[in-house]
């Protein structure tokens, strides 16, 4: 039986809304409108909507109204996230690698089947903000059920921080998970060559080459348009930054523009002024989506038995 609720995109007004169980969840929409008015991106609103939906579904199974949730409910939710299978980690192939194992080709860990520590921490941050807003508008409980990270005197962390001084590392808030320190990751030249050999088209080679050489996010790269975003003479692309949403010019490798030229010349996608650069290759022409772009790497990884991601960078010899 399908779980109640869903996240729906609307054409006008608040773009992303939570329907739970069948009608619009007014408190969730109120919070998302606050975020939208604070200039949060549509991608952030969509992500927060799904986080709220996951929480509402959990409370629904516990027969607990969202406005009566207490700290013990949050603890139970975290315990469930630590053990529940992440739907995005479900592999249907019989030869899929074992979650948590070490990939023999890349030396990287295969993603665990459960929710990652960073996902749990982000979920807690979303719920903390949601209940802070609900408490301030008298829609929710009297006290925020999600523990906040505090300083030594009990005040909110960085509430009175002197901007002329460095930030001090504090201990994690209750229920916050340990997260590994991010490391600079690179793909050796030999692995990059094997990856390109496994790709099926010039479009895929151009896409992956820009990923590896420019360091742009997938959503930023998919936002490239004809008529100013691609400068082959200067070997640069101009993307809209996910964080600031300002246009930024970024250098890319010469090979990337060679693959791009081959893609445009041989596959002949629509090339209207101001139109998107990346298109699907089969069926009715339409712009390439994020999930379709991810599938490009997934197919190549399956063929190679690897688990490279779009976050890798090329590690040059010498």
- Find the domain containing 37 and state its range: 6-136
Q: Are residues 130 and 193 in the same domain?
A: no
Give the tens place of pLDDT for each residue, 93-117: 656 666 667 776 666 766 777 888 9
- Cα 53 to chain centroid distance, Å, stands at 17
Q: In this structure, is residue 279 part of a structural domain?
A: yes
Q: Are residues 192 and 128 in the same domain?
A: no
- Count of domains observed in the chain: 2
Q: Which two tokens stand for residue 118?
A: 């960073």
- pTM here is 0.72
Q: Domain boundary residue among 136, 163, 197?
A: 136
Q: In this structure, is residue 14 part of a structural domain?
A: yes
Q: In this structure, is residue 142 part of a structural domain?
A: no
Query: CA quadruple 215, 220, 221, 227: dihedral positive or negative?
Result: negative
Q: Which two tokens stand for residue 263?
A: 């893609």
Q: In this structure, is residue 158 part of a structural domain?
A: no
Confidence bin at 315 (pLDDT 50/70/90): very low
pLDDT, mean of residues 105-134: 87
φ/ψ of 239, rounded to 5, equals -120, 160
Do 56 and 66 form a contact (C-beta atoms < 8 A)? yes
pLDDT for position 283: 86
Length, in residues, of the chain: 318
Give the tens place of pLDDT for each residue, 227-246: 889 999 999 999 988 777 78
Residue-wise burial string across 200-218, b where 16 or more C-beta atoms lie within 10 A, e elsewhere: eebbbbbbbbbbbbbebbb
SS3 254: helix
Q: In this structure, is residue 147 part of a structural domain?
A: no
Do 177 and 121 form a contact (C-beta atoms < 8 A)? yes
Give the tens place of pLDDT for each residue, 245-300: 789 999 999 999 999 999 999 989 999 999 999 999 888 889 999 888 888 888 88
Residue 152 in this model has a pLDDT that exceeds 60: no
d(CA 150, CA 167): 14
SS3 18: strand
SS3 246: coil
């Amino acid at each position: 039986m399908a779980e109640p609720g869903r996240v729906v995109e609307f054409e006008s007004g608040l773009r992303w809304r939570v329907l739970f169980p069948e009608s619009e969840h007014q408190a969730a929409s109120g919070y998302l409108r606050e975020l939208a008015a604070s200039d949060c991106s549509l991608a952030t609103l969509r992500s927060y909507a799904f986080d709220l939906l996951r929480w509402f579904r959990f409370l629904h199974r516990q027969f607990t109204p969202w406005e009566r949730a207490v700290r013990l409910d949050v603890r139970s939710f975290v315990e469930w996230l630590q053990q529940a299978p992440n739907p995005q980690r479900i592999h249907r192939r019989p030869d899929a690698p074992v979650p948590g194992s070490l990939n023999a080709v890349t030396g990287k860990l295969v993603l665990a089947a459960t929710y990652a520590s960073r996902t749990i921490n982000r979920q807690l941050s979303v719920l903390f903000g949601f209940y802070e807003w609900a408490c301030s508008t008298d829609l929710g409980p009297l006290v925020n059920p999600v523990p906040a990270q505090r300083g030594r005197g009990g005040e909110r962390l960085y509430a009175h921080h002197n901007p002329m001084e460095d930030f001090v590392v504090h201990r994690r808030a209750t229920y916050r998970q340990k997260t590994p320190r991010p490391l600079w990751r690179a793909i050796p030249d030999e692995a990059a060559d094997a990856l390109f050999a496994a790709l099926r088209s010039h479009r895929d080679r151009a896409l992956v080459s820009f990923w590896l050489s420019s360091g742009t996010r997938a959503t930023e790269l998919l936002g490239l348009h004809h008529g100013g975003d691609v400068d082959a003479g200067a070997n640069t692309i101009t993307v809209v930054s996910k964080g600031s949403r300002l246009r930024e010019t970024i250098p890319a490798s010469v090979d990337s523009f060679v693959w791009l030229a081959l893609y445009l010349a041989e596959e002949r996608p629509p090339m209207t002024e101001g139109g998107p650069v990346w298109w699907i290759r089969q069926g009715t022409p339409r712009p390439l989506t994020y999930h379709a772009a991810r599938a490009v790497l997934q197919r190549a990884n399956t063929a190679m038995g690897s688990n490279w991601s779009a976050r890798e960078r090329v590690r040059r010899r010498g």
